[in-house]
Amino acid sequence: MNFMNSSLVFFGAGKSKICAGCTVALETLATLLAEPGDVFLIPAPYYSSFVDDINERAGVLALGVPCDETLSRDAFEQAYERVTGEGKRVRAVLFSSPNNPIGTVYKEEAIRSLLDFAMEHDLDVISDEIYAQTVFDPEAHFVSTMRLVPDAYRHRVHVTSSFAKDFVLSGFRTGMCFSFNPDIIQGFASITYYSSVSSHTQSLLTALLKEPELGEIMELSRKRLGKAYRIFSRGLAEMGIPMMKAQAGIFVMADLSEYMEKQEFSAEQVLWDKIYNELMLNISPGGLFGCERPGWFRACYAFDEDTVEEACRRLQMLKK
Amino acid sequence: MNFMNSSLVFFGAGKSKICAGCTVALETLATLLAEPGDVFLIPAPYYSSFVDDINERAGVLALGVPCDETLSRDAFEQAYERVTGEGKRVRAVLFSSPNNPIGTVYKEEAIRSLLDFAMEHDLDVISDEIYAQTVFDPEAHFVSTMRLVPDAYRHRVHVTSSFAKDFVLSGFRTGMCFSFNPDIIQGFASITYYSSVSSHTQSLLTALLKEPELGEIMELSRKRLGKAYRIFSRGLAEMGIPMMKAQAGIFVMADLSEYMEKQEFSAEQVLWDKIYNELMLNISPGGLFGCERPGWFRACYAFDEDTVEEACRRLQMLKK
């Protein structure tokens, strides 16, 4: 994966495993690292399915840690105190880098702060880098968590990814785990017998990664993402809708609270219903992602220009 | 699947689910039907991996029921008494039809006998029909278990299959479960989220099933299998090696006990080692398949004629 060299460390043989999607990679890590009832801390807002991915089979509990893009330690320390005070064990920190839903590309200092916290408390770190190739903001600089961890702690950090987002191949169900921990790699080899990827699909994806034009294609993809983001954020700005600045991914968080009758999470559902059924736009209420304050919604802008412009026109109808 | 009509009942929408291989289908059925510690009865000799498929994650225990190809009830009743006498619960009967490793195509009476037993004791039946398209003996008539079960009991019978054997696509990791039980189908839909099949592979397999020449190709495949079987069984006969008559599948059970120093299962391993390392043939000792008597070995003859003849030549070297 030459085009990834700028961001990822080199993973040789025996340091990665594939399985039927990133969901499985996260579920497998939860199974291998924790006992049912253990807790993973996750910076909030977080990808809502993280909660199910680690809980449904592995029984691990997700706890959102409200924090900004600096991932400062105070919030994590407080969450850690709370969990251990309840007699539960914190086993790992799980975060998406770049972040879904807020689209942040974490700065090195932010990731180092999280790593310091994890090392201090003897926690593993799962860095889900499924959006690593979608960074469209020229000012953002993505660095894999694996590059920032001190060598002595490298076996405690596990990176997951997939072809679903970077390559827009979500149906291909091909996820990966990269780890320098041989026990984790061996555990994957055993468990993912139940979620193997077809050799037919592996063959196509191998050819894709060897394609000389891939770098240019990915660059084009990022340019288009950036353009769609600019159209959509301009549309929101024209309506006076506050939003979080995104630098990567396919989503933006927009504050639609002024269109809610009450500043309560139940009102998010009412507004969602109106937007879905009247405007026929499908955006997701922030309560799903562990937002602290009601009124945030996650919108996907990864469409062609006409579709994004049409979405902006429809959102204008909220003003009536 | 027109070419399958002669043997399988018609499965409409909502009566089948796919997952990443027949292993997963069996593991999922074990998870859905049983609690850890429950027992599935399996006619022996059986496919050795059945034991792991139902046990590793679902915790279900496999008990081999020594019986011949008539699947007569006595042996099953005895096994049932034994298990319940130990305070355990028998939850299902699992069998491969056609049978692996012995290559038998069960007669209707045999399957009906097994169904009677299951209905009498309120057990589910899992009929693994992964070799349904490999029947090369013109005298054999394969019938899906689903066709023989009375309508009132049809929701208790579940058929599994895969593209791995019939279509020689083991790397494609695409298994299926057919069931008239809506709870089973819904359970599959939930659990197999963790073992999805790539849409890329699904697309190719759909095209394969629609291919007008498929029937002829399968017929050719069966002819070649039959020819390889005849060459191999002639080779064994010339050596005076007893074997079970096969009618389907890709394996034959051969009695190599006369080449063992002792009539013990430990001696199978010694002979296996000799055959593997000196003759460089990989055949499997019967102990793995729950054979009652030591000395049986499972050999795969699904190769081109030259390879099968070479295997016969090498086996002759045992006579020295």
Convert the pLDDT of each residue in B277-290 to its tens digit.
Answer: 999 999 999 999 99
B252 and B165 fall within a common domain: no
A100 and A22 fall within a common domain: yes
A44 and A192 fall within a common domain: yes
Put simply, the answer to whether B195 touches A27 (Cβ < 8 Å) is no
Output the pLDDT for position A11: 64
Output the pLDDT for position A70: 94
Output the pLDDT for position B2: 38
Q: What is the DSSP letter of B4?
A: G
B50 and B198 fall within a common domain: yes
A130 catalytic residue (yes or no):
yes
A39 and A172 fall within a common domain: yes
Output the pLDDT for position B319: 87
Output the pLDDT for position B5: 42
Give the whole-number percent of chain A exceeding pLDDT 90. Answer: 93
Q: Which residues of chain B have pLDDT under 70?
A: 1-12
Find where tokens 């509990």 sit. A61
Beta strands in chain A (DSSP E): 16-19, 39-44, 61-66, 90-96, 124-128, 157-162, 175-179, 251-255, 284-285, 296-300
Find where tokens 């009539």 sit. B263
Pairing of strands A90-96, A39-44: parallel
Put simply, the answer to whether A20 touches B171 (Cβ < 8 Å) is no
> What is the tens place of the pLDDT at every residue in A122-164?
999 999 999 999 999 999 999 999 999 999 999 999 999 999 9
Put simply, the answer to whether A200 touches B198 (Cβ < 8 Å) is yes
A165 catalytic residue (yes or no):
yes
Q: Give the C-alpha separation, B132 to B127, whole Å.
A: 11
- Indicate the residue type of A98: P
- Give, in order, the Cα–Cα distances in Å from B171 to each of A231, B210, B269: 44, 20, 29
Q: What is the DSSP letter of A194?
A: G
**Contact yes or no for B45/B286 (Cβ under 8 A):** yes
Please state the rounded mean pLDDT for residues A169-185.
96
Output the pLDDT for position A2: 38
**Cα-Cα-Cα-Cα dihedral sign, residues A204, A207, A213, A216:** positive
Provide the shortest C-alpha distance from residue B109 to chain A (in Å).
35
Residue A263: CA count within 13 A, CB half-sphere: 5
* CA angle in degrees (0–180, nearest 5) for B256-B259-B264: 80
Does B284 lie at the interface with A, CB-CB under 8 angstroms? Answer: no
Q: Which residues contact A230 (CB under 8 A, 6 or more apart)?
A: none
Put simply, the answer to whether A197 touches B173 (Cβ < 8 Å) is yes
Put simply, the answer to whether A173 touches B196 (Cβ < 8 Å) is yes
**Adjacent-strand bridge partners of B63:** B41
**Contact yes or no for A42/A50 (Cβ under 8 A):** yes
Q: Give the C-alpha separation, B181 to B146, whole Å.
A: 12
Out of A192, A210, A228, a domain closes at A210
- Domain at B288, CATH number: 3.90.1150.10
> What is the tens place of the pLDDT at every residue in A260-297?
999 999 999 999 999 999 999 999 999 999 999 999 99
Does A167 lie at the interface with B, CB-CB under 8 angstroms? Answer: no
A175 to chain B: which residues are within 8 Å by CB? none
Output the pLDDT for position A320: 74
Q: Give the C-alpha separation, A21 to A170, whole Å.
A: 8
Provide the shortest C-alpha distance from residue A208 to chain B (in Å).
13
**Contact yes or no for B20/A20 (Cβ under 8 A):** yes
Q: What is the distance of C-alpha B192 from the center of its chain?
A: 22
A119 and A244 fall within a common domain: no
Q: Which two tokens stand for residue B311?
A: 């295997």
Q: Which of residues 40-79 of A touch B (CB under 8 A)?
A: 57
Output the pLDDT for position B11: 64
A164 to chain B: which residues are within 8 Å by CB? none
B58 and B131 fall within a common domain: yes
Q: What is the distance of C-alpha A1 from the center of its chain?
A: 21
Q: Which domain holds residue A296?
A: 215-319
Put simply, the answer to whether B195 touches A171 (Cβ < 8 Å) is no
Please state the rounded mean pLDDT for residues A223-243.
97
- Domain at B147, CATH number: 3.40.640.10
Phi, psi of B160 (to 5 degrees): -115, 155
Does B23 lie at the interface with A, CB-CB under 8 angstroms? Answer: yes
Output the pLDDT for position B14: 86
Does A206 lie at the interface with B, CB-CB under 8 angstroms? Answer: no
Give me the number of domains chain A comprises: 2
Does B193 lie at the interface with A, CB-CB under 8 angstroms? Answer: yes
Which residue of the set A46, A165, A185, A229 is catalytic? A165
Output the pLDDT for position B10: 55
Does A24 lie at the interface with B, CB-CB under 8 angstroms? Answer: yes
Find where tokens 């049986």 sit. B296
A221 and A194 fall within a common domain: no
B165 catalytic residue (yes or no):
yes
B231 catalytic residue (yes or no):
no
Buried/exposed code over B29-52 (b: 16+ C-beta within 10 A; e: otherwise): bbbbbbeeebbbbbbbbbbbebbe
Which residue of the set B38, B46, B47, B185 is catalytic? B47
- Give, in order, the Cα–Cα distances in Å from A63 to each of A43, A290, A296, B134, B152: 8, 9, 19, 52, 48
B162 and B223 fall within a common domain: no
Output the pLDDT for position B193: 86
Put simply, the answer to whether A195 touches B23 (Cβ < 8 Å) is no
Q: Give the C-alpha separation, B64 to B43, whole Å.
A: 6
**Cα-Cα-Cα-Cα dihedral sign, residues B94, B98, B104, B107:** positive
Which residue of the set B126, B130, B231, B250 is catalytic? B130
> What is the tens place of the pLDDT at every residue in A11-34?
667 899 999 999 999 999 999 999
Does A196 lie at the interface with B, CB-CB under 8 angstroms? Answer: yes
Q: Which two tokens stand for residue A87?
A: 């007699």
A200 to chain B: which residues are within 8 Å by CB? 171-172, 198, 200-201, 204
Q: Cβ of A260: how many Cβ atoms within 10 Å? A: 18
Q: Give the C-alpha separation, B248 to B229, whole Å.
A: 9
| Nearest Cα residue to A97 out of A71, A123, A61 | A71
Q: What is the distance of C-alpha A118 from the center of its chain?
A: 19
Residue among B27, B195, B200 minimizing CB distance to A20? B195
Q: Give the C-alpha separation, B23 to B111, whole Å.
A: 23
SS3 (DSSP) at B28: helix
B136 and B55 fall within a common domain: yes
Q: Give the C-alpha separation, A164 to A161, whole Å.
A: 9
Please state the rounded mean pLDDT for residues A186-209.
94
- Indicate the residue type of A261: E
A168 and A310 fall within a common domain: no
A194 to chain B: which residues are within 8 Å by CB? 20-21, 23-24, 27, 57, 194-195
pLDDT above 60 (res A312):
yes
Q: Give the C-alpha separation, B287 to B292, whole Å.
A: 8
**Contact yes or no for B255/B296 (Cβ under 8 A):** yes
Assign A3 a pLDDT band (cuts: 50, 70, 90). Answer: very low
Pairing of strands B296-300, B284-285: antiparallel
Out of B169, B189, B210, a domain closes at B210
Which of the two residues, A193 and B246, has the higher pLDDT score? B246
Out of A210, A243, A264, a domain closes at A210
A175 and A226 fall within a common domain: no
Does B206 lie at the interface with A, CB-CB under 8 angstroms? Answer: no
Output the pLDDT for position B192: 87
**Adjacent-strand bridge partners of A95:** A127
Q: Virtual CA dihedral for A12, A16, A289, A83, nearest 10 degrees?
A: -100
Chain A, chain B: beta-carbon pairs less than 8 Å apart: 67
Q: Give the C-alpha separation, B170 to B176, whole Å.
A: 13
Q: Give the C-alpha separation, B68 to B113, whole Å.
A: 12
Give me the sheet containing A175-179, strands edge to edge.
A16-19, A175-179, A157-162, A124-128, A90-96, A39-44, A61-66
**Contact yes or no for B158/B181 (Cβ under 8 A):** yes
SS3 (DSSP) at A69: coil
Complex confidence, ipTM: 0.87
Q: What is the DSSP letter of A60?
A: P
What does the radius of gyration of chain B's CA atoms come to, in whole angstroms? 20
Closest chain B residue to the Cα of A56, Cα to Cα: B191
Which residue of the set A17, A18, A42, A47 is catalytic? A47
Q: Give the C-alpha separation, A214 to A208, whole Å.
A: 7
Output the pLDDT for position B27: 96
pLDDT above 70 (res A238):
yes
Mutation site for A-interface testing, chosen from B190, B193, B204, B205 by largest number of A Cβ within 10 Å: B193
Mutation site for B-interface testing, chosen from A22, A194, A196 by largest number of B Cβ within 10 Å: A194
Burial of A282 (0-12, 13-18, 19+ CB in 10 A): exposed
A23 to chain B: which residues are within 8 Å by CB? 193-194
pLDDT above 70 (res A9):
no
